[in-house]
Amino acid sequence: MPEISLLVIDASIVARWYLPSPPHVDLARQVRSDYQENRISLTAPDNLPIEVGGALHQAMRARYIRSEDSESWYNEFLDWNLPLVETADLLRPAYRLSLRFGCSFYDAIYLVLAQQENLPFLHADQRLHNALGGRFPFELWIEDYRHP
């Protein structure tokens, strides 16, 4: 049996599981399908549920999605019980990486986790992709994701 890849993911991937916010919705949903079918494993820092909740809440407030859908989808996401890593030990190095790459502090938390665990960091955030500019060796841009 082939080894299952472990990937660090961020809210830009998970939000696209629920919100039809192009681009890359189909690719993000392929990631979800691959996870559901145990072709890959996923992890993230423990701020992921906060960011996903914020994205769903913002979409609901903008009337992009219905309130009942927002709550249902958030509960579904929480029920996935994705393995999360506590961020406490990631904060200082994340701050340094945020300065180095000119990205948000929240994004840098994912970067540090990927770097410390030597794992690919899969995301669909164009602004972050531009900020990294190919300088972060663990970045796996959504367009480069290959179905296992």
Q: How far apart are CA 94 and CA 92, in angstroms?
A: 5
The encoded tokens of residue 48 equal 């992921």
Q: How far apart are CA 135 and CA 6, in angstroms?
A: 21
What does the pLDDT look like over 35-84, one tens digit per residue? 999 999 999 999 999 999 999 999 999 999 999 999 999 999 999 999 99
Q: Answer whether 0.85 is exceeded by the pTM.
A: yes
What is the domain class of 11-144 according to CATH? alpha beta
Which residues, 6 or more positions from 57, have their beta carbon under 8 angstroms from its beta carbon? 70
147: helix, coil or strand? Answer: coil
The encoded tokens of residue 94 equal 């994340």
- Within 13 Å of residue 125, how many CA atoms lie on the same side as its CB? 23
